Structure 1
Amino acid sequence: MIIISIALSVWLIIRRDIIQDLAGYGYIGMFAISFLGSSISIVPVPMLAVQFTLGGVLPPPVGEPILGPLFAGIVASLAEALGGFSIYMTGYSGKSSLAGSDSGSKLNRLYCKMIRLMERRGSLMVFILSAIINPFFYPMTLAAGAVNFGIRKFMLISLAGKFIKCTAICYAGYFGLTRLFGF
């Protein structure tokens, strides 16, 4: 996946006209891709690459161009938080079956460890794992649902963390693509 991501990034830099075409989908496209990438899906969605790219090219609805990545970050973070809701509900509805399945497997041990962490430090776990790029947000979200971590609390804390992550990615795209295209 890392090699594919790097190859896709290089290809997009070479074919920068495609990046301008992506901007045609605007904030609705940003929302849809971020939602799909953060919800349970069979096909992996390159949402980080899209957020990076669209953060660099989308014009803001109002104000200075430097505000474009801020608006893109808001849209992406809302979409990712809503996408995480489906994972939370999966954990909430399947808590007994997830904990009881094949207790010796590595996946089940990881899940049980996440359950214990959510019971002890739930708010901190949700915030940190939603604010950084990592593969542990999804198991943590399942665990949050399984331990009945409050849905409003989960959504607010997750949204705050996602806002930090998505806005940083969008601004990195804005400053990175501006310099790259200037070069």
Structure 2
Amino acid sequence: MPSEGMIAQADETLTLAAPAPEQSEPPSPARAEIDVPARWRRWLALAAALTVMVLVMVFRDKVREFPQYGYLGVFIFSLLSNATIILPVPGLVSVLAAGSAFNPIVVGLVAGIAEPIGELTGYLAGYAGRAVIADHKTYARIMGWMRGHNYLSGYLTIFVLSLIPNPLFDLAGIAAGALKLPVSGFLVSCWLGKTLKAIGIAFLGGWAVPFIERLLS
């Protein structure tokens, strides 16, 4: 029969071996999310749409004043706006405006060449390992899409995200660089999607801007 001393020693050993209760840690700043009320989101979206409309009308007049720089202006605006880690509103505005003043197909082709070149900034940041958004949930989700089940998943993700105007492509470009996706494949996938998108936006500008002018006249 074990003695009382042996039982007490065993109880003490079990107590020391038991894991300490986990303490909940506050969420890191990288994971914190800003809760914007739906009402304010709607107002912000409306304000953004009106701002874009005004910029389109103003920029369209400037393009017509300097027709010899029209396509070059589209190229520069598209390249610079996609080289920054923001929603490329200036590039979209230039394509919309130029589409109402010039050949929409040519405008789309010019923007489709410029935008992938600008997106190389995000790709190179990810390739060099300087991305500081690894804990961002959206970034992790895009990484999952790009890893996928085969080697085509990364290219397909780049194509789809470049085809639709959205602020997520900067994260996709960083993810492509971090995954060491071949730069040639990245550029081709990006070019296909962004060219189709730009042609569509240019045709939209060619129809929408004259329509708005008729409504306002």
User: Aligned residue for 2:38?
Assistant: none
Aligned to 1:110: 138
Q: Give the structure, 1 or 2, with the largest relative contact order (CA under 8 Å, sep 6 or more).
A: 1
Equivalent pairs, count:
167
Q: Does 1:86 align with 2:121?
A: yes
Secondary structure in structure 1 of the residue aligned to 2:167: coil
Matches within 5 A, 1:34-73: 34-40=78-84, 46-58=90-102, 68-73=103-108
1:31-180 residue pairs with structure 2 within 5 A?
31-40=75-84, 46-58=90-102, 68-94=103-129, 99=134, 103=135, 107=136, 109-120=137-148, 121-180=153-212
Would the aligned equivalents of 2:83 and 2:121 in 1 still touch at CA under 8 Å?
yes
Kept in 1, the 8 Å contact 2:59–2:97? The answer is no
Q: Which has the higher helix share?
A: 1
Moved more, 28-37 or 39-48: 39-48
Q: What TM-score do you get using the length of structure 1 for normalisation?
A: 0.78
In structure 1, list runs of 5 or more residues that go unmatched.
Answer: 59-67
Partner Cα distance (2:59, 2:70) in 1: 19
11-20 or 46-55, larger mean C-alpha shift? 11-20
Gapped regions of structure 2 (runs ≥ 5): 1-43
Matched residue type, 1:28: L
Conservation of the 8 A alpha-carbon contact between 2:99 and 2:205: yes
Larger Rg: 2
Q: Return the alpha-carbon distance in structure 2 between the equivalents of residues 17 and 128 of structure 1.
A: 33
Name the CA distance, whole Å, in 2 between partners of 1:124 and 1:11. 33
Q: Normalising by structure 2, what TM-score?
A: 0.67
